[in-house]
Amino acid sequence: MNLLLKDFLDMMAAEIGASNNTIEAYQRDLLQFFEYNQKELKDVSQQDISDYMQYLGRQGYAPKSAARKLSALKDFFKFLYTEKEITKNPTANIIAPRLEKPLPKFLSANDIENLVNKAQEKKDAIHIRTATMLVLMYACGLRISELVALPEGCINFDKKQILVRGKGSKERLLPVAESALAKILDYLPYRENFIRGRKSIWLFPSLKAKAGHVTRDGFFKNLKDLAVACGIEPNKISPHVLRHSCATHLLHRGVDLRLVQKMLGHEDIATTEIYTHIMPEDLMSQISQKHPLAKYLKK
């Protein structure tokens, strides 16, 4: 058994290029199974694997951890089957534990205001650009890929709208808050610092980036630096968190779910519905008091 395990781990390293950490994790998970089930490998059945998964549940392992351990077993027994060490793969029809989707993280409106104010404390071009991007992303719920690649002419200041090219090159026209438009107008004189007389089609150009505009990583790094300066844990913030914050705050203030779906550019409303699970206590209290069914239930 140990020899077959070594052969499997060697294959993972040589043919698949698995990292040392991955190989060590596989080894731990497989040795744990061997300790639980001490049958010969050729005698391990589907029921044995099912029993082991139930055992992990009783031991308090989270679905994510159990799924990882099952993945190691599947890869190992698939290897044994391919190498003709066993005649039947006992893991072939075993389904991994269902993983719950984590709720989106979001910041409070005060946190976002603090980030913007901190960015604007320094009047240099980079901080002004970061503040403008932050406000625009939060105001419109943009994806980071949409934000960094905005063309210079995407905004109609008269109609207070922005044209965004999203996934699959699908365009959507979004309203822009006046405060966000004001930030963009304040930023435009600083834009010259990032082109220095050259021509650029981008709203947020960059002299260093190959794409010609600010990169995702560049904006993310600036965002992390702002978080540290504001006393916000860096792991709690990302461009995606700003997008989540926009959606969450809109729903909490009564904006229709389908309008939020359209704003975010979600194909399926089920993707937007995850935000409805983040219900603050005051909103739950309002519903229990004012929903038409509340009086009926009291009766």
Instruction: Note whether residue 33 is domain-resident.
Output: yes
Chain-wide mean pLDDT for the chain? Answer: 86
Please indicate, yes or no, if residue 94 is contained in any of the structural domains.
Answer: no
pLDDT at 283: 47
CATH of the domain at 75: 1.10.150.130
Q: Is there a single domain that holds both residue 74 and residue 133? A: no
Domain boundary among 82, 100, 130: 82
The beta-carbon contacts of 273-280 under 8 Å, at least 24 apart in sequence, are 274/101, 274/103, 274/104, 275/104, 275/244, 275/247, 275/248, 275/251, 276/251, 277/103, 278/103, 278/104, 278/106, 278/248, 280/252
pLDDT cut 90: percent of the chain above it:
52
Pairwise CA distance, residues 227 & 132, whole Å: 16
CATH code, domain carrying 118: 1.10.443.10
Cβ atoms 182, 195 nearer than 8 A: no
Residue showing tokens 């997008």: 243
Classified as helix, coil or strand, 1 is: coil
**Rg of the chain over all Cα atoms, to the nearest angstrom:** 26
Assigned domain for 61 exists: yes
- Give the residue numbers marked as catalytic: 143, 167, 240, 243, 266, 275
Residues 120 and 246 in one domain: yes
Q: Which residue has the tokens 């990882």?
A: 68
Give the pLDDT confidence of 34-71 residue by residue, as tens digits: 999 999 999 999 999 999 999 998 898 888 888 899 99
pLDDT in tens, 69-92: 999 999 999 999 999 999 999 998
296 in any annotated domain: no
Question: Distance (Å, rounded) from C-alpha 228 to C-alpha 236?
Answer: 11
299 — pLDDT class (breaks 50, 70, 90): very low
8 A C-beta contact, residue 187 and residue 129: yes
- The model's confidence at residue 9, banded by pLDDT at 50, 70 and 90, is very high
Q: Which tens digit of pLDDT belongs to each residue from 181-226?
A: 999 999 999 999 999 888 999 999 998 899 999 999 999 999 999 9
pLDDT digits (tens, 9 = 90+) for 216-263: 999 999 999 999 999 988 888 889 899 989 988 888 888 888 888 999
- CA 153 to CA 39: how far, in whole Å? 68
H or E stretch covering 171: strand 171-175
**48 and 176, same structural domain?**
no
Tell me the residue range of the domain where 68 lies.
Answer: 2-82
Number of Cβ within a 10 Å radius of residue 190: 16
Domain co-membership, 48 together with 195: no
